[in-house]
Amino acid sequence: MKRILLVVGMLAIGLGAVSAQQDVVAQRQKLMKDNGKNLGGVLGGMVKGEKPYDQAAVDAALTQLDQSARTLTTLFPDSTKGLKTGGDYDSSPKIWENRSDFDAHFASYSKAIGEAKTSVKDLATLKAAVPVLGKQCSGCHETYRLKNT
Ligand code: HEC
């Protein structure tokens, strides 16, 4: 009886670990979606003239991008390799094969956000910064994000 309980207990712990890893995947997916909203919706919207330039909204979006970049670097642990997001995109196994290159992409991305935080003061400087940030996103996605078909 004791042995059965032990096995059941261990199974429960194992399942708990899997769902904790699945939570990590859900967290990073949410942050990536927020990135999309901040860069494409808030900043991109101003660049396209859909919204008036608003320094407070720019600062808030850049601050969120900056914070999410810091959190995201911790949300790709080895234990999540191969886990599916259930969404349109998954992570490529290359992340865990070329970890230092993947981390370098994050470092370069964070640096670009830091630069935008100091350079963006008006619509002209925003227009210059948005494509630079967009290239950082796509530069990583090209290699490390897989589109589910
Ligand atoms: C260093 C790499 C890297 C950078 C930089 C990066 N991403 Fe991602 N992104 C990924 C990976 C990997 C995935 C796959 C998601 C997963 O497995 O959780 C992803 C997924 C996404 C998704 C899909 C989320 C979903 O599943 O619905 C969006 C949207 C996204 N990223 C937006 C952005 C935007 C916008 C930026 C820049 C502001 C950005 N990302 C920067 C690596 C990166």
CATH code of the domain containing 72? 1.20.120.10
Domain hosting residue 98, numbered range: 23-147
Asked if residue 18 is part of any domain, the answer here is no
Asked if residue 28 is part of any domain, the answer here is yes
Residues 6+ apart with CB under 8 A from 39: 61, 65, 130, 133, 134, 137
Asked if residue 15 is part of any domain, the answer here is no
Residue owning the nearest CA to atom 19 of ligand 1: 145
Going residue by residue through the chain, which has 149 residues, state the pLDDT in tens, using 9 for 90 and above.
Answer: 677 776 666 666 666 777 888 999 999 999 999 999 999 999 999 999 999 999 999 999 999 999 999 999 999 999 999 999 989 999 999 999 999 999 999 999 999 999 999 999 999 999 999 999 999 999 999 999 999 98
CA distance 30 to 80: 16
Does ligand 1 lie within 6 Å of residue 106's CB atom?
yes
Asked if residue 2 is part of any domain, the answer here is no
pLDDT of residue 3: 74
Quick check: 103 and 47 in contact, CB under 8 A?
no
pLDDT of residue 66: 97
pLDDT of residue 20: 86
With 0.95 as the threshold, say if the pTM is over it.
Answer: no
Asked if residue 8 is part of any domain, the answer here is no
pLDDT of residue 100: 97
Asked if residue 110 is part of any domain, the answer here is yes
CA distance 43 to 21: 32
Total domains, the chain = 1
Q: Which residues sit opposite 146 in a β-bridge?
A: 90
The length of the chain is 149
Quick check: 77 and 27 in contact, CB under 8 A?
no
Q: Tell me the CA–centroid distance for residue 137 and ligand 1, in Å.
A: 7
Asked if residue 45 is part of any domain, the answer here is yes
Q: Tell me the CA–centroid distance for residue 10 and ligand 1, in Å.
A: 34
Q: How far is CA 42 from CA 25, 75, 125, in A?
A: 25, 24, 15
Please name which of 109, 111, 108, 79 lies closest in space to residue 95, comparing C-alpha atoms: 79
Please name which of 37, 41, 21 lies closest in space to residue 91, comparing C-alpha atoms: 21
Asked if residue 139 is part of any domain, the answer here is yes
Pocket test for ligand 1, best of 117, 137, 138 (most atoms within 8 A of CB): 137
The CA-based dihedral angle spanning residues 101, 128, 113, 41, taken in that order and rounded to the nearest 10 degrees: -100
Q: Would you tell me how many other CB atoms lie within 10 Å of the CB of residue 14?
A: 9
